């Protein structure tokens, strides 16, 4: 087990820790996505609380260690949400921790609504963080439009705690739709997802169950509008066998997608592959997995494969990347030589003492 | 504003540079005659002018890479240029620089509807991108006011926005990949047709870096299916605070309009006199636009009108068809022209938290009296992106300086209330020395460290974005290397 955990309660305490630290550290949010492997942990758990919430401006500022569940509950009171639906990995990875808002953005964790509203990185408006030499830094702010200087906000989103300890995030929130419906379409082809998204009907989720040959298309909005769009789509897909999941049933289905429930039962290595949407089915054909699901119109492929199968090797000719979540392979897909050179130099600028999360992206 | 002096050691290399360029570029792609380089002396921040040493107009990524390599070897600063529509002086040359214009790189390389993307060379104008796919029912969402002229390269450099960002986001939310040439002449692909990347989000970092990290030659853009229709409603109030409250209530009610535009009284009067749009003479005017099928538009507008009525409007005009819609938009769309008719103007784009709107408007009108210059406000109210237009007379000595001082005060105010210096125009030279207001020395150091990584000699657009005093040492090192 890990020997030491420090949990600084303020930015300046984080700074104190980092100024004097010389040994590698693991930055931990809720430890629901990444498990600590270093001997020493710096935890954001004491950086907790909402700093500011303006429902009328669709923005919230929160300390990095604030649990995702708390953020969701507060937003819900104003009928708002994190529209990018951060997925929960912990059940699947058999971890006990609870997601924090800092961890969500540090991993750019984005769910099914990615295809309609963008990823976590598209909702992050500002960050405060402490870098590896103890500098307290900020970038972006709490307004929706901001092009003042370089966009380090995007750099920090998805940097998996390799550039600094994020202490505070500000982000865009959106209203929860009045109602939703999901069309469950019996189709042997996943291309039905891209057909659905390329209509005027503002689809907010597309999912394909490869084993069952079943496509799921979500429509959200005001009541009349949802009814209208469902009717139009039924007309569009008149040649298929279609069921409709209404409000609660629809919500439950997408909650399961969000929790990655459908991947739990089957054993084997767990991979998450990101490709051009029309190539999702190709990945399935190529790998013949034990179980496979497509999200993001086909652009996000969830796979359980035989232990030790090298997915990356198999998809060499396909543009995209594969993340290994359970298995013996390196978690992150290697990037191009030049990209790696630039990324390593950036990492060195922010973390010259090589303190942060050394085991990943290295 | 101080414009940096040209470095004589660089100027001395002009002939050598031109010879090298002509070894692989056609004669008409290399502009070195001082009468002709004048065409590149400024962008849309036309108060500042300085012709470059040389301008080049390549057609391919490989040509751009060769140009970069030569400039890297000779230590010649490079100023990338799209269409030259920057309001912040982003494409303003220095006297010792090479302007690299991408205007001839305007091919469409790929249109892929199933994956909702298209790939273009970045000299394409913003509007022509939509033009290419419009007949098939698609569009490219970011819509800066200059969209008829501005190039995708510049949109990426400045992370441009537009009136419809409230729903569709800005450039960086609609950009999937770029092909970029580094200052060393290396070609790198960032992002892809897939929806996220392994490793750092270098694409996100490049977008909005004002041509300081690389020269983007190709872009993969998200295209979306067009909604069935769109209609606006015009709402007038006699109190800007009430108008602000109305905006906030609309958003809280769960309606997400594609645009919420705000105009104040000076702006309403000027535009109405100019365009005869028939706007009410009131303190604050809102134009709220929604999208969808007829039924969906009806449903949303009904909700908006209901909310607007609660706040006792002096005018409420709901468009029933496209004709009425264009009449509502007429004044707003001619606002800049109308203000320009009255006098020269400077357009700012500081952004504020929406809740601070009434306070900021009140302070701006007080400052207007203090500085003795009129100001009108047009505003993307949904996202807090202000556009104060300060009127001044360019022919009156001292007026420009007063206007700039007034502008700086407004931007300081934006930062003080929790906003930022620029929401969509960029920093350029115009706001570089105000960066200290928003960022600490360490914050600026962290950003400049990124430039060190991509452009270690600080040759790409070096005098932009950062306060000259903050970047002085880095730029001096670069020119010392030149002298040596």
Report the alpha-carbon distance of residue B1 to residue B464 in Å, rounded.
Answer: 12
Report the alpha-carbon distance of residue B353 to residue B420 in Å, rounded.
Answer: 9
For B403-423, the pLDDT digits (tens) are 999 999 999 999 999 999 999
Q: Which residues of chain A have pLDDT under 70?
A: 1-3
Is residue A19 located within the same domain as residue A125?
Answer: yes
Query: Which pLDDT does position A3 carry in this prediction?
Result: 58
Of A258, A283, A315, which residue sits at a domain end? A258
Residue A309 belongs to some domain of the structure: yes
The overall pTM is greater than 0.90: yes
Report the alpha-carbon distance of residue B166 to residue A58 in Å, rounded.
Answer: 10
3-state helix, strand, coil in chain A (%, to 5): 30, 30, 40
The mean pLDDT of B178-203, rounded to a whole number, is 96
- Please, which residues 160-199 of chain A have a Cβ atom closer than 8 Å to chain B? 174-178, 191, 194, 197-199
Percentage with pLDDT > 90 across chain B: 88
**Residues B39 and B93: beta-carbon distance below 8 Å:** no
Residue A150 belongs to some domain of the structure: yes
B307 touches chain A (CB under 8 A): no
Is residue A111 located within the same domain as residue A219?
Answer: no
A122 touches chain B (CB under 8 A): yes
Residue A332 belongs to some domain of the structure: no
Residue A217 belongs to some domain of the structure: yes
CB atoms within 10 A of CB B387: 23
The mean pLDDT of B165-189, rounded to a whole number, is 96
Residue A154 belongs to some domain of the structure: yes
Is residue A100 located within the same domain as residue A49?
Answer: yes
Is residue A94 located within the same domain as residue A45?
Answer: yes
Residue A121 belongs to some domain of the structure: yes
Of A232, A258, A284, which residue sits at a domain end? A258
For the cut 80, the answer to whether the pLDDT of residue B481 exceeds it is no
**Residues B199 and A345: beta-carbon distance below 8 Å:** no
Residue A348 belongs to some domain of the structure: no
Cross-chain CB nearest to B251 (options A56, A145, A320): A56
Cross-chain CB nearest to A224 (options B204, B299, B427): B299
Of A224, A258, A292, which residue sits at a domain end? A258
CATH (domain of A79): 3.30.465.10
Report CA Rg, chain B.
Answer: 23
- Please, which residues 179-198 of chain B have a Cβ atom closer than 8 Å to chain A? 182, 186, 188-190, 192-198
Is residue A267 located within the same domain as residue A295?
Answer: yes
**Residues A308 and B157: beta-carbon distance below 8 Å:** no
Query: Which pLDDT does position A1 carry in this prediction?
Result: 47
Q: How many residues does chain A have?
A: 362
Q: Which residues of B165-199 are buried (b: 16+ CB within 10 A; e: fewer)?
A: bbbbbbbbbbbbbbbbbbbbbbbbbbbbbbbbbbb
Is residue A158 located within the same domain as residue A291?
Answer: no
Q: Which residues contact A103 (CB under 8 A, 6 or more apart)?
A: A29, A30, A32, A33, A44, A64, A68, A109
**Residues B10 and B96: beta-carbon distance below 8 Å:** yes
Residue A115 belongs to some domain of the structure: yes
- Please, which residues 220-249 of chain B have a Cβ atom closer than 8 Å to chain A? 225-228, 247-249
| The CATH classification of domain B229-335, taken from the options 3.40.50.1980, 3.30.530.20, 3.60.70.12, 3.30.70.3450 | 3.30.70.3450
Is residue A12 located within the same domain as residue A160?
Answer: yes
Q: Please give the full DSSP string across A327-361, using - where no structure is assigned.
A: SSS-SSPP--HHHHHHHHHHHHHH-TT--B-TTS-
Q: Which residues of B81-105 are buried (b: 16+ CB within 10 A; e: fewer)?
A: bbbbbbbbbbbbbbbbbbbbbbbbb
Report the alpha-carbon distance of residue A95 to residue A34 in Å, rounded.
Answer: 9
Is residue A194 located within the same domain as residue A70?
Answer: no
Q: Please give the full DSSP string across B219-230, using - where no structure is assigned.
A: EEEE-EEPPSEE
- Total structural domains within chain A: 3
ipTM passes above 0.90: yes
Residue A214: give the domain boundaries: 179-258
Task: Tell me which residue of A126, A324, A343, A129 sits closest to B200, measured CA to CA.
Answer: A343
Query: Which pLDDT does position B333 carry in this prediction?
Result: 85
Query: Which pLDDT does position B153 carry in this prediction?
Result: 98
**Residues A101 and A84: beta-carbon distance below 8 Å:** no
Give the mutation candidate from A108, A150, A176, A228 for the B interface (greatest B CB count, under 10 A): A150
Fold of B343-433: Alpha-Beta Plaits (3.30.70)
Is residue A192 located within the same domain as residue A84?
Answer: no
Is residue A205 located within the same domain as residue A320?
Answer: no
Q: Do domains B229-335 and B343-433 have the same CATH topology?
A: yes
Give SS3 for B422: coil
**Residues B72 and B185: beta-carbon distance below 8 Å:** yes
CATH (domain of A253): 3.30.70.920
Is residue A53 located within the same domain as residue A171?
Answer: yes
- DSSP annotation of A296: G
Q: Which residues contact B233 (CB under 8 A, 6 or more apart)?
A: B287, B288, B289, B301, B304, B305, B308, B316, B317, B318, B319, B328
For the cut 70, the answer to whether the pLDDT of residue B482 exceeds it is no
Query: Which pLDDT does position A120 carry in this prediction?
Result: 98
Is residue A117 located within the same domain as residue A243?
Answer: no
**What are the domain boundaries of chain B?**
229-335, 343-433
By C-alpha distance, the chain B residue nearest A320 is B194
**Residues B353 and A126: beta-carbon distance below 8 Å:** no
In this complex, do B425 and A147 lie within 8 Å of one another by their Cβ atoms? Answer: yes
């Amino acid at each position: 087990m890990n020997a030491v955990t420090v949990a600084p309660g303020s930015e300046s305490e984080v700074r104190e820790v980092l100024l004097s630290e010389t040994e590698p550290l693991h930055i931990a949010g809720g430890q629901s996505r990444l498990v600590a492997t270093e001997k020493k942990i710096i935890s954001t758990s004491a950086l907790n609380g909402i700093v500011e919430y303006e429902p009328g401006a669709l923005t919230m500022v929160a300390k990095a260690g604030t649990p995702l569940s708390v953020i969701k509950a507060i937003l819900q009171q104003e009928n708002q949400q994190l529209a990018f639906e951060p997925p929960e990995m912990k059940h699947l990875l058999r971890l006990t921790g609870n997601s924090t808002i800092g961890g969500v953005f540090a991993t750019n964790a984005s769910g099914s609504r990615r295809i309609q509203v963008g990823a976590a990185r598209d909702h992050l408006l500002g960050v405060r963080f402490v870098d590896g030499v103890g500098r307290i830094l900020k970038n972006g702010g709490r307004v929706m439009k901001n092009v003042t200087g370089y966009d380090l906000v995007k750099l920090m989103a998805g940097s998996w705690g390799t550039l600094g300890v994020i202490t505070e995030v500000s982000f865009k929130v959106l209203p929860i739709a009045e109602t939703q419906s999901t069309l469950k379409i019996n189709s042997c082809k996943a291309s039905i997802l891209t057909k659905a998204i390329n209509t005027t009907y503002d689809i907010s989720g597309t999912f394909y169950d490869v084993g069952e040959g079943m496509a799921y298309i979500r429509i959200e909005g005001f009541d009349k509008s949802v009814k209208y769009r469902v009717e139009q789509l039924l007309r569009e897909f008149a040649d298929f066998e279609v069921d409709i999941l209404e409000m609660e049933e629809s919500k439950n289905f997408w909650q399961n997608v969000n929790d990655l429930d459908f991947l739990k039962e089957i054993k084997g290595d767990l991979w998450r592959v990101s490709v051009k949407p029309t190539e999702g089915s190709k990945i399935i054909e190529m790998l013949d997995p034990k179980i496979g699901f497509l999200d993001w119109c086909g652009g996000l492929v969830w796979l359980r494969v035989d232990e030790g199968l090298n997915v990356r090797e198999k998809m060499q000719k396909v543009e995209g990347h594969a993340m290994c979540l359970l298995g013996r392979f390196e978690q992150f897909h290697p990037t191009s030589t030049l990209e790696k050179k630039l990324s390593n130099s950036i990492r060195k600028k922010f973390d010259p003492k090589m303190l942060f999360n050394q085991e990943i992206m290295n | 504003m101080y414009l940096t002096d040209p470095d004589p050691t660089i100027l001395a290399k002009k002939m050598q540079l031109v010879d090298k360029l002509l070894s692989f570029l056609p004669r008409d792609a290399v502009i070195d005659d001082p009468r002709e380089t004048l065409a590149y002396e400024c962008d849309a921040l036309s108060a500042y002018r300085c012709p470059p040493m040389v301008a080049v107009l390549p057609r391919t990524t490989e040509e751009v890479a060769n140009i970069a390599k030569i400039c890297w070897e000779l230590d010649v600063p490079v100023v990338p240029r799209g269409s030259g529509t920057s309001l912040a002086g982003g494409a303003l040359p220095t006297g010792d620089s090479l302007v690299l214009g991408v205007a001839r790189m305007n091919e469409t390389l790929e249109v892929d509807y199933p994956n909702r993307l298209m790939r273009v060379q970045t000299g394409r104008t913003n509007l022509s991108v939509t033009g290419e796919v419009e007949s098939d029912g698609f569009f490219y969402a970011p819509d800066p006011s200059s969209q008829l002229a501005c190039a995708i390269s510049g949109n990426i450099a400045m992370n441009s926005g537009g009136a419809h960002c409230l729903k569709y986001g800005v450039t960086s939310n609609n950009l999937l990949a770029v092909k970029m040439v580094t200052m060393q002449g290396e070609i790198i692909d960032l992002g892809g047709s897939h929806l996220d990347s392994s490793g750092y989000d270098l694409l996100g970092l490049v977008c909005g870096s004002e041509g300081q990290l690389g020269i983007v030659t190709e872009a993969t853009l998200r295209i979306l299916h067009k909604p069935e229709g769109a209609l606006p409603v015009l709402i007038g109030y006699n109190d800007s605070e009430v108008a602000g409250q109305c905006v906030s209530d609309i958003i809280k009610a769960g309606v997400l309009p594609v645009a919420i535009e705000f105009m104040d009284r000076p702006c309403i009067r000027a535009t109405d006199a100019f365009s005869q749009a028939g706007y009410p003479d009131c303190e604050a005017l809102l134009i709220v636009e929604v999208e969808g099928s007829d039924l969906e538009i009806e449903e949303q507008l009904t909700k908006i009108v209901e909310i607007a009525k609660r706040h006792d409007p002096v005018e409420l005009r709901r468009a029933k068809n496209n004709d009425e819609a264009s009449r509502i938009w007429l004044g707003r769309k001619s606002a800049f022209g109308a203000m320009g008719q009255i006098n020269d103007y400077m357009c700012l784009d500081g952004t504020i938290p929406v809740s601070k709107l009434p306070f900021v408007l009140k302070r701006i009108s007080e400052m207007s009296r203090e500085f003795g210059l009129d100001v009108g406000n047009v505003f993307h109210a949904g996202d807090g992106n202000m556009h104060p237009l300060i009127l001044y007379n360019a022919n009156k000595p001292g007026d420009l300086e007063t206007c700039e001082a007034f502008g700086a005060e407004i931007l300081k105010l934006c930062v003080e209330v929790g906003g930022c210096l620029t929401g969509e125009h960029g920093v350029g030279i115009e706001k570089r020395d105000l960066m200290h207001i928003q960022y600490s020395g360490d914050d600026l150091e962290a950003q400049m460290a990124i430039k060190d990584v991509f452009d270690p000699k600080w040759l790409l657009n070096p005098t932009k974005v950062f306060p000259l005093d903050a970047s002085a040492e880095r730029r001096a090192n670069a020119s010392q290397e030149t002298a040596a």
